[in-house]
Amino acid sequence: MEKIEVRYVWEWPVRIVHWVNFLSILILSVTGIYIGWGKTLAHNPSQYIMGWMRFVHFVVAFAFTISVIARIYWAFVGNKYASWRVFTPWAFKEGRKNMKETFLFYTFFKPTPPHCVGHNGMAGAAYLWVFALYLVMICTGFALYAQYAPGGFLSTVFSWVYVFGSNQGLRLTHKIVMWFLIAFAIHHVYSAWLMDVKEKNGVISSIFGGYKTVPEGED
């Protein structure tokens, strides 16, 4: 009978960033949809509600940005499960093998997923793109925000973003990427649930407590 050990996988900064990002994306999406909607509606939106929505959007935007920067830092100083290496699995032999086996499982060619303690190869690669989308949201968001203070610090730092599009182009990008992030979140919860059931390693509770149950000695 296979021996099971309890392993500390997700350190506290990883878990805090995860939940700050979750809450931020939820609040930024709700307030963002209101901001976009109010402006496109034929009637005048309530200035009072709009003011609050924009204020909350900007405060949470700063929290989200700090959280994303913190996670990038932790990818270089955290444990091996948090390392930047897990986000580029194709660069390593083991990672490529794991990606292939996970892909075969996801596409119903294999009945069981490959064993792995941290992120599987497919998940790690997907999170790299999710972080790229976070950076798109941060850059387009701050470039738009900087317009409120022309010539200020933020407008100097984020002026380069306008090379990629006009004001309306950036707004559209900001909005479309939000829907990509919402689609990712739905898929993310589904696959976490699936893996929890299939692998029986407590992956869902691990994002609260940090511990997973894994076969003894497995890496």
**CB nearer ligand HEM, residue 85 or residue 171:** 171
Rounded to a whole number of angstroms, the minimum distance from the CB of residue 83 to ligand HEM is 24
**CB nearer ligand HEM, residue 8 or residue 148:** 148
Show Cβ contacts of residue 51 under 8 Å, excluding neighbours closer than 6 positions. none
Rounded to a whole number of angstroms, the minimum distance from the CB of residue 58 to ligand HEM is 6
In this structure, are residues 143 and 99 in contact, taking their beta carbons and an 8 Å threshold?
Answer: no
Question: Residues in the chain, how many?
Answer: 219
Beta bridge partners of 8: 211
**CB nearer ligand HEM, residue 123 or residue 170:** 170
∠ CA 203-132-184, nearest 5°, is 45
Distance CA 153, CA 171 (A): 21
**CB nearer ligand HEM, residue 124 or residue 141:** 141
**CB nearer ligand HEM, residue 157 or residue 197:** 157
Rounded to a whole number of angstroms, the minimum distance from the CB of residue 99 to ligand HEM is 26
Three-class DSSP category at 169: helix
Rounded to a whole number of angstroms, the minimum distance from the CB of residue 140 to ligand HEM is 7
Rounded to a whole number of angstroms, the minimum distance from the CB of residue 117 to ligand HEM is 29
**CB nearer ligand HEM, residue 82 or residue 137:** 137
Token digits of residue 14: 């990883």
Give the torsion through C-alpha atoms of 161, 165, 166, 171, to 10 deg: -80
Amino acid found at 198: K
Rounded to a whole number of angstroms, the minimum distance from the CB of residue 190 to ligand HEM is 20
Q: Residue numbers of the site for ligand HEM (CB under 6 A)?
A: 25, 28-29, 32-33, 35-36, 54, 57-58, 61, 64-65, 137-138, 141-142, 144-145, 171, 174-175, 178, 181
Can you say how many angstroms the Cα of residue 102 is from the centroid of all Cα atoms in its chain?
20
Cα distances from 102 to residues 80, 98, 108, 216, in angstroms, run 20, 6, 10, 21
